[in-house]
Structure 1
């Protein structure tokens, strides 16, 4: 566990850390959202998964849109000015701090990941408005109290915080353990804090087949879950309307509401700590 800010990583150091022979979860997802920080092995797996289940591209795209809508809502409608984003992944467009600070320039954001590749790219996440602040913690989801302790150097944990965990809890094999980790994180945040979660779900044969193929690739496994299991992460919280739903159906933008939202195997929601 380290609270260091990302330093400039040399090409030699990066080459030592990066395994280009095995697919990598952050690079794989980066490929699906249209990013450029991926390698041939990730693209090959991505194309193979797309052949099995073309809908995964919609999951990637709409999950990113869900992040933008939830962060905008929390900043604009709930007055949240502090965000703790765990499982950051590789930077793309409309990262949490960009969305939050577009609405509320004084927002503070702490990103958390334990991936050396994400660390190497994290300087792209550390831009900020003059009024706000961003920070990056090189830390592990399995150490919630340590995350909160270090995040407290940037965030005021006596005031509401939005805890954002997107497409990350599926890497925790045991759903009971995943619930415990979420509970420990929320226990360190005050009343009025919010929890934002989305993950891929076992709601179609195609998604299940895609998950099985991905897990056979050698990448860090990702476990798709039943919707009820994702809903259970919000136990003890007050769910905001419309509850835990397909990410496309969580408060869709009015401009796109007239069109039919794609059915996707990814569910998410937002809960408020009473």
Structure 2
């Protein structure tokens, strides 16, 4: 990986400490990672081999959810918070393939994601993409900057895939969801994934402990009951809160359950 851009964003990088965005990229087979990321990624994989399946299932969930929203549901605006490093079939690629006029705003605070944000800013002439450098906790900044590209008086799909697990305090995580969903109108959607120690994830306890001691940001798992509360006041779409690999799988797939919950809900 080459970060010799000389930019302020590159200067913020700390290659000596494993970071979630880069380790996730490593598990997905990408190339944007350092030796520290690969070392931690391999150690976590050794403790919890299913983590690679979780990473890939989470990405596949994004594709199915965005495909449904841009297709059958007719959504044309997406706010993707905690987007991570660009990979294959990012939100704007899936959405604009079905609806070229779709408008997408990505949000992340990892400097490496910002360095590569130009890969997320390609758009069809009919649509638009933008990138906001902000922490998920800073919902005021997210909404203010997103409003430059999105019309927040019209339905928006808020994407929170694998991000609330880095907000250790559950009340704070709930506040983030409420702040974002309160700002969008009826007919908007919330898509969310979150790791759990349920669904066969009990073996992940040691791996999460190792992660919190050797990488950043720290992570927490939550129960299905706790995750369900993120959807309070919203209407869950079938099949509800399930292992994200089992959320409306493609007909040709034979998915196996993984320890990552996923769901999509509509704001009434």
Range of TM-score over shorter length: over 0.9
CA contact 2:9–2:114 (8 Å) conserved in 1? no
Question: How far does residue 13 in structure 1 lie from its aligned partner after superposition?
Answer: 4.3
Name the CA distance, whole Å, in 2 between partners of 1:9 and 1:181.
Answer: 35
CA gap 1:180/1:13 in 2 versus in 1, 3 angstroms: closer
Q: Which residue of 1 aligns with 2:94?
A: 99
Partner of 1:255, secondary structure, is coil
Aligned residues: 264
Question: How far does residue 100 in structure 1 lie from its aligned partner after superposition?
Answer: 0.5
Question: How far does residue 15 in structure 1 lie from its aligned partner after superposition?
Answer: 4.9
Q: Which residue of 2 aligns with 1:264?
A: 258
- Partner deviation per Cα, 1:217-256 (whole Å, 9 max, x = no partner): 1321011111111111000000000001001110001121
The equivalent position to 1:18 in structure 2, one of 13, 26, 46, is 13
Name the CA distance, whole Å, in 2 between partners of 1:46 and 1:223.
Answer: 17
CA contact 1:97–1:107 (8 Å) conserved in 2? yes
- Partner deviation per Cα, 1:9-68 (whole Å, 9 max, x = no partner): 824645532211111111011111111100111011111111101000100000000000
CA gap 1:151/1:14 in 2 versus in 1, 3 angstroms: closer
Name the CA distance, whole Å, in 1 between partners of 2:9 and 2:182.
Answer: 36
State how 1:15-164 maps to structure 2 within 5 Å.
Answer: 15-164=10-159
CA contact 1:9–1:120 (8 Å) conserved in 2? no
Q: Give the alignment's Cα RMSD to 1 decimal.
A: 1.4
Using the size of structure 1 for normalisation, the TM-score is: 0.93
CA contact 1:145–1:188 (8 Å) conserved in 2? no
Q: Which residue of 2 aligns with 1:182?
A: 177
Partner of 1:254, secondary structure, is coil
Question: How far does residue 205 in structure 1 lie from its aligned partner after superposition?
Answer: 2.0
Name the CA distance, whole Å, in 2 between partners of 1:64 and 1:245.
Answer: 15
* Structure 2 unmatched ranges of 5 or more: none
CA contact 2:40–2:215 (8 Å) conserved in 1? no
CA gap 1:46/1:108 in 2 versus in 1, 3 angstroms: same
- Partner deviation per Cα, 1:171-204 (whole Å, 9 max, x = no partner): 1011111011100110000000000000111212
- The question of 1:197 aligning with 2:189 is answered no
Runs of 4+ in 1 over 4 A off after TM superposition: 12-15
Partner of 2:232, secondary structure, is coil
Q: Which residue of 2 aligns with 1:216?
A: 213
Name the CA distance, whole Å, in 2 between partners of 1:61 and 1:218.
Answer: 20
